[in-house]
């Protein structure tokens, strides 16, 4: 324990820790990635009544949101999300997309694991995979934050992370900036399961950084079910209300 502390302190001296959410410097002795002020200020999905399908906060006394209630045959079992996409969480998620600092994925994965375990008690996941990035973006930036998050989550949950199970077709417009109907249309037919043999009969946990209209999760889960996945659960660090 003593040596662990010394090691930690040395690491912190070399790489001074900053709060994941507000970027303020943390005390050198801290093993935390989030300051107390942010811990109290972040909006956690778990503090709300949530839709039992998509995990978005809803009015009390309802089980499902208006969207999930009327959607015919949802291809996923449920979506588990950690934070509401607003305020400091939104800022942190935006930085997570730009900066390659592993601390984001570690912090988000740690809390997301707790949410997934709470929401999916008794579910035994066979594999964790991530929503594939747009190929244009990968070519340009070579960084995939959904993959980073999924790998951290898989490691913490002791489940195998499978690389590149799905891919996106080329030349699709960005989802951000589109309205709900346009997003639904934009994702349709755009995801391909490259390795169906690796997920057939498996209980899959599909990970993305943010869930907005549910369109991406819906489309990917549909393709995974067509490739004969036994069940698809989804998890995202944040969700919009
Ligand atoms: Zn903070
Ligand atoms: Zn819902």
What domains, with CATH codes, occur in the chain?
1-41 (no CATH), 43-239 (3.40.50.2020)
Residue list, CB under 5 A from ion ligand 2: 51, 53-54, 65, 68
- Quick check: 214 and 241 in contact, CB under 8 A? no
How would DSSP label each residue in 198-232? HHTT-EEEEEEEEESSSHHHHHHHHHHHHTT-SEE
Ligand nearest to the CA of 54: 2
Residue range 102-128, pLDDT digits in tens: 889 999 999 999 999 999 999 999 999
- 126 CA → ligand 2 middle, Å: 25
| Residue 111 host element (H or E) | helix 102-119
Pairing of strands 166-168, 160-161: unpaired
Residue list, CB under 5 A from ion ligand 1: 19, 21-22, 35, 38
- 42 CA → ligand 1 middle, Å: 9
Residue range 143-159, pLDDT digits in tens: 899 999 999 999 999 99
Output the pTM of the full model.
0.90
Percent of the chain exceeding pLDDT 90 equals 71
Residue range 28-60, pLDDT digits in tens: 777 788 999 999 999 999 999 999 999 999 987
User: Does the pLDDT of residue 172 top 70, yes or no?
Assistant: no
Please, what's the b/e burial string for 130-144 (b: 16 or more CB within 10 A of its CB; e: otherwise)? bbbbbeeeeeeeeeb
How many whole angstroms separate alpha carbon 126 and alpha carbon 232? 10
Tell me, what's the pLDDT at 171? 66
Residue range 186-217, pLDDT digits in tens: 778 889 999 899 999 999 999 999 999 999 99
How many whole angstroms separate alpha carbon 139 and alpha carbon 148? 17
The secondary structure of residue 233, as a DSSP letter, is: E
């Amino acid at each position: 324990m003593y040596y662990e502390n010394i090691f930690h302190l040395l690491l912190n001296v070399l790489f001074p820790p900053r709060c994941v959410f507000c970027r303020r410097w943390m005390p050198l002795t801290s093993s935390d990635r989030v300051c107390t002020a942010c811990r109290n200020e972040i909006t956690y999905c778990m503090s709300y009544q949530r839709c039992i399908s998509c995990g978005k906060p809803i009015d009390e006394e309802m089980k499902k949101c208006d969207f999930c209630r009327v959607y015919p045959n949802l291809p996923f079992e449920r979506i588990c999300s950690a934070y509401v996409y607003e305020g400091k969480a939104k800022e942190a998620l935006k930085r997570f997309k730009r900066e390659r600092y592993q601390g984001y994925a570690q912090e988000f994965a740690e809390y997301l694991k707790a949410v997934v375990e709470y929401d999916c008690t008794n579910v035994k996941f066979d594999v964790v995979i991530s929503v594939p990035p747009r190929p244009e973006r990968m070519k340009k930036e070579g960084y995939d934050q959904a993959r980073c998050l999924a790998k951290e989550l898989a490691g913490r949950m002791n489940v195998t992370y499978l690389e590149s199970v799905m891919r996106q077709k080329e030349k699709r417009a960005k989802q951000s900036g589109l309205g709900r109907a346009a997003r639904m249309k934009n994702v349709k037919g755009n995801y391909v399961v490259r390795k169906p043999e690796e997920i057939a009969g498996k209980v899959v946990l599909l990970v993305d950084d943010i869930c907005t209209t549910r369109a991406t999760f819906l489309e990917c889960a549909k393709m995974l079910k067509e490739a004969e996945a036994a069940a698809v659960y989804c998890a995202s660090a944040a969700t919009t209300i």
